Amino acid sequence: MELWSRRKFFLTSLAGSALASANELFGRTTPNGHAAGSLANLVTPAQGKRPLIISSANGRHALDKGMDILKRGGDTLDAVVAVVTVVEDDPNDDSVGYGGLPNEEGEVELDASVMHGPTHRAGAVAAVRRIKNASRLAKTVMENTNHTMIVGDGARRFAVAEGFEEMNLLTEHSRKIWLAWKAKTSFNWRPGIDSPEWKAYMSSLFKGDEKEIAYAERVIAHPPTGTIPCMAVDAKGDISATTTTSGLSWKIPGRVGDSPIIGAGCYADNEVGAAGSTGKGEENIKVCGGHTIVEMMRQGKSPTDACMEAMTRVVHNYKNDKKKLGTFHLYFYAINKDGAHGAVSLWRNGYEASNQASYAVHDGTEARLVPCKTFFDEAGGEQ
Ligand code: GLY
């Protein structure tokens, strides 16, 4: 199946100067937990099947990898890390790992966490630079240290000591978009007003590619917080989870989102289930979304209802003020020990207003997109 990056998706939709029809989009996955698919084609699944693996929509093409591990009787943490590693390695997904959009200084900084249900262990890294596979690094923190979280340059040095390859995580694409962001937001990082080049600067940066320019304009105006969470339960009922991200684009160096925070962007309890999140991490951190969702499931709520409870707390923090809530988007995802799953998005749309927010599910047959239940039944939310 053809994988569409979010970038290509935008370029296409913007190039058409109109939102593409749902039918045109069906079958193509955009990263960042946002689906390009028509509602008619999104099938509500049977609940309660094991083994089961789910992720944000940008992981659909990689879920087979995790399901193969689960079917062979492999460990659930190996399965979820295998899935997100595919997305971390993908230079066309500019929300995670290699090619992620950088911080305001042009450095890609990654956050990730893992939780292993059977042993109730956790590991995390935050604001780590130059190491592509942050999720595997978080797993290494869990397995090889007496710590739960390592951050910043300490995390990079730990990775090198553990044999991870150091590399520049900026692709040409993400570097140019960062330069365009600098040009738009700083008086200094662009030709002076006396320069005949000024008008043509964006065009020269992107070699006249109008689609690239349109995409750059979009992510400059609406900094994305793309991420991939992945959760699995195997045939025995063992559960693990991971979440990995390049975080908020153009962030202040050192900014850490919810993805590496155990109990916010990722949580698993082998007796109950697991939860993860995408979208504006700051809002999730304030409600400890991952832990809240698992505790709600422990009290008997379905994964969807448990996600809805966490989202209700986020909305309550803004007294239901849609204007303020409209400045961000947020998604919660959950599975329980029986193999039931669910997800809730704050707004109806995915990354584009025309698309239904959805998530990716594989319960043994094939990976597919399933609609999120929405808190507000209308489009909204920055990324
Ligand atoms: N949810 C990803 C972030 O806020 O960094």
Q: Per-residue DSSP letters for 32-91?
A: TTEEE--GGGPPPPPS--SSEEEEEGGGGGGHHHHHHHHHTT--HHHHHHHHHHHHHH-T
d(CA 302, CA 292): 13
- How many angstroms separate the alpha carbon of residue 270 from the centre of ligand 1? 25
Same domain for 194 and 229, yes or no, is no
In a domain, 26, yes or no: no
Ligand 1 pocket test, pick from 245, 288, 328, 332 with the greatest ligand atom count within 8 Å of Cβ, gives 245
- How many angstroms separate the alpha carbon of residue 34 from the centre of ligand 1? 14
Those residues with Cβ within 8 angstroms of residue 12's Cβ, 6 or more apart along the chain or in another chain = 4, 20, 211
Those residues with Cβ within 8 angstroms of residue 142's Cβ, 6 or more apart along the chain or in another chain = 114, 116, 121, 122, 123, 148
Same domain for 273 and 367, yes or no, is yes
Same domain for 231 and 341, yes or no, is yes
Nearest to 34 by CA among 339, 336, 289, 382: 382
Are the beta carbons of 152 and 254 closer than 8 angstroms? yes
- How many angstroms separate the alpha carbon of residue 95 from the centre of ligand 1? 10
In a domain, 145, yes or no: no
- How many angstroms separate the alpha carbon of residue 199 from the centre of ligand 1? 34
Nearest to 222 by CA among 173, 171, 280: 280
- In short, whether 278's Cβ falls inside 6 Å of ligand 1 is yes
Ligand 1 pocket test, pick from 108, 246, 251, 259 with the greatest ligand atom count within 8 Å of Cβ, gives 259
Nearest ligand 1 atom to the CA of 277 is 1
Nearest ligand 1 atom to the CA of 282 is 4
- In short, whether 329's Cβ falls inside 6 Å of ligand 1 is no
d(CA 323, CA 335): 31
Domain final position from 163, 198, 221: 221
Q: How many CB atoms lie within 10 A of CB 59?
A: 29
For residue 163, list its beta bridge partners. none
- How many angstroms separate the alpha carbon of residue 40 from the centre of ligand 1? 30
| pLDDT computed for residue 29 by the predictor | 30
Same domain for 199 and 308, yes or no, is no
Those residues with Cβ within 8 angstroms of residue 110's Cβ, 6 or more apart along the chain or in another chain = 96, 97, 100, 125, 127, 128, 129, 131, 134, 169, 244, 245, 246, 247
Element (H, E) at 232: strand 227-233
Domain final position from 221, 246, 278: 221
Q: What is the CATH number of the domain that holds 285?
A: 3.60.20.30
Same domain for 231 and 276, yes or no, is yes
For residue 373, list its beta bridge partners. 344
In a domain, 257, yes or no: yes
- In short, whether 280's Cβ falls inside 6 Å of ligand 1 is yes
In a domain, 114, yes or no: no
Q: How many domains does the chain have?
A: 2
Nearest to 383 by CA among 56, 47, 27, 4: 56
- In short, whether 225's Cβ falls inside 6 Å of ligand 1 is yes
Same domain for 191 and 336, yes or no, is no
**pLDDT averaged over 10-residue windows placed end to end, the chain, 383 residues:** 36 33 30 37 59 96 98 98 97 87 95 98 98 98 98 98 97 92 87 77 86 85 84 98 95 97 98 97 98 98 98 98 95 98 94 81 96 93 66
Same domain for 67 and 184, yes or no, is no
Dig out the tokens for 144 from the structure: 């090889």
- How many angstroms separate the alpha carbon of residue 280 from the centre of ligand 1? 5
Are the beta carbons of 58 and 95 closer than 8 angstroms? yes
Burial 141-171 (b: 16+ CB within 10 A, else e): bbeeeeeebbbbeebbebbeeeebeeeebbb
Same domain for 234 and 359, yes or no, is yes
Nearest ligand 1 atom to the CA of 246 is 5
Please classify residue 272 by burial: count the beta carbons closer than 10 Å to its beta carbon, then call 0-12 exposed, 13-18 middle and 19+ buried. buried
Q: At which residue do the structure tokens 């997100």 appear? A: 84
- In short, whether 281's Cβ falls inside 6 Å of ligand 1 is yes
Question: pTM of the entire structure?
Answer: 0.86
| pLDDT computed for residue 352 by the predictor | 63
Backbone angles phi, psi at 221, to 5 degrees: -70, -35
- How many angstroms separate the alpha carbon of residue 260 from the centre of ligand 1? 9
Domain final position from 153, 188, 221: 221
| Domain assignment of residue 195, given as a range | 172-221
d(CA 270, CA 309): 21
Ligand 1 pocket test, pick from 34, 111, 228 with the greatest ligand atom count within 8 Å of Cβ, gives 111
Dig out the tokens for 123 from the structure: 């590991």
In a domain, 279, yes or no: yes
- In short, whether 133's Cβ falls inside 6 Å of ligand 1 is no
- In short, whether 224's Cβ falls inside 6 Å of ligand 1 is no
Same domain for 74 and 216, yes or no, is no
Same domain for 277 and 342, yes or no, is yes
In a domain, 112, yes or no: no
Same domain for 62 and 184, yes or no, is no
Nearest to 373 by CA among 318, 317, 334: 334
- In short, whether 258's Cβ falls inside 6 Å of ligand 1 is yes
Active-site annotation, residues: 227
Dig out the tokens for 71 from the structure: 């079917």
In a domain, 124, yes or no: no
d(CA 276, CA 346): 14
In a domain, 141, yes or no: no
Same domain for 248 and 312, yes or no, is yes
Nearest ligand 1 atom to the CA of 248 is 5
DSSP 8-state symbol, 375: S
| pLDDT computed for residue 198 by the predictor | 67
